[in-house]
Amino acid sequence: MRMSRKTALITGITGQDGAYLAELLLNKGYVVHGIKRRASLFNTERIDHLYQDPHEKGRRLILHYGDLTDATNLIRIIQESQPHEIYNLAAQSHVQVSFESPEYTANADALGTLRLLEAVRILGLEQQTRFYQASTSELYGLVQEVPQTETTPFYPRSPYACAKLYAYWITVNYREAYNMFACNGILFNHESPLRGETFVTRKITRALARIALGLQDRLYLGNLNALRDWGHARDYVEMMWMILQRDTPDDYVVATGEQHSVREFVTLAGRELGMEIAWQGEGLEEQGVVAGLTPRRIPVDGQEIPLDFKGVSVGDVVVAVDPRYFRPTEVETLLGDPAKAKQTLGWEPRISFPELVQEMARHDLLHALRDETLKREGFRICNYFE
Nearer to ligand NDP, 67 or 85 (CB): 67
Nearer to ligand NDP, 198 or 303 (CB): 198
Task: Report the nearest approach of ligand NDP to the CB of residue 54 (Å).
Answer: 20
Q: What are phi and psi of 15, to 5 degrees?
A: -90, 180
Q: Is 260 in the site for ligand GDR (CB under 6 A)?
A: no
* Interface with ligand NDP (CB under 6 A), residue from 7, 8, 9, 16: 16
Looking at residues 84 to 103 of the shown chain, list those that interact with ligand GDR (rule: CB under 6 A). Answer: 93, 95-96
Q: What is the 3-state secondary structure (H, E, C) of the chain?
A: CCCCCCEEEEECCCCHHHHHHHHHHHHCCCEEEEEECCCCCCCCHHHHHHCCCCCCCCCCEEEEECCCCCHHHHHHHHHHHCCCEEEECCCCCCHHHHHHCHHHHHHHHHHHHHHHHHHHHHCCCCCCCEEEEEEEHHHCCCCCCCCECCCCCCCCCCHHHHHHHHHHHHHHHHHHHHCCCEEEEEECCEECCCCCCCCHHHHHHHHHHHHHCCCCCCEEECCCCCEECCEEHHHHHHHHHHHHCCCCCCCEEECCCCCEEHHHHHHHHHHHCCEEEEEECCHHHCEEEEEEECCEEEEECCEEEEECCCCCCCCCEEEEECHHHCCCCCCCECCECCHHHHHHHCCCCCCCHHHHHHHHHHHHHHHHHHHHHHHHHCCCCCCCCC
Cα–Cα distance list, 56 to 21, 25, 29, 83, 325 (Å): 22, 19, 17, 21, 46
Would you give the distance in Å from CA 334 to the centre of its chain?
Answer: 16
* Interface with ligand GDR (CB under 6 A), residue from 7, 14, 136, 148: 136
Catalytically annotated residue among 7, 113, 136, 267: 136
Q: Is 116 in the site for ligand NDP (CB under 6 A)?
A: no
Annotated catalytic, 136? yes
Nearer to ligand NDP, 91 or 360 (CB): 91
Please identify the residue of the shown chain whose CB is closest to the bound ligand NDP: 15
Nearer to ligand NDP, 93 or 267 (CB): 93
Stretch binding ligand NDP (CB under 6 A), from 11-19, 124-132, 205-213, 268-276:
11-19
Stretch binding ligand GDR (CB under 6 A), from 45-53, 123-131, 143-151, 193-201:
193-201
Q: Is 102 in the site for ligand NDP (CB under 6 A)?
A: no
Task: Report the nearest approach of ligand GDR to the CB of residue 84 (Å).
Answer: 26
Q: Is 216 in the site for ligand GDR (CB under 6 A)?
A: no
Q: Is 356 in the site for ligand GDR (CB under 6 A)?
A: no
Stretch binding ligand GDR (CB under 6 A), from 48-56, 176-184, 222-230, 287-295:
222-230
Cβ(200)–Cβ(300) below 8 Å: no
Annotated catalytic, 138? yes
* Interface with ligand NDP (CB under 6 A), residue from 136, 148, 152, 223: 136
Annotated catalytic, 384? no
Q: Is 184 in the site for ligand GDR (CB under 6 A)?
A: no
Catalytically annotated residue among 30, 87, 132, 160: 160
Q: Which residues bind ligand GDR (CB under 6 A)?
A: 93, 95-96, 136-138, 188-189, 198-200, 203, 221-223, 226, 228, 262, 325, 327, 330-331
Catalytic machinery residues: 136, 138, 160
Residues binding ligand NDP (CB under 6 A):
11-12, 14-18, 35, 37, 39, 43, 67-69, 89-93, 108, 134, 136, 187, 189-190, 196
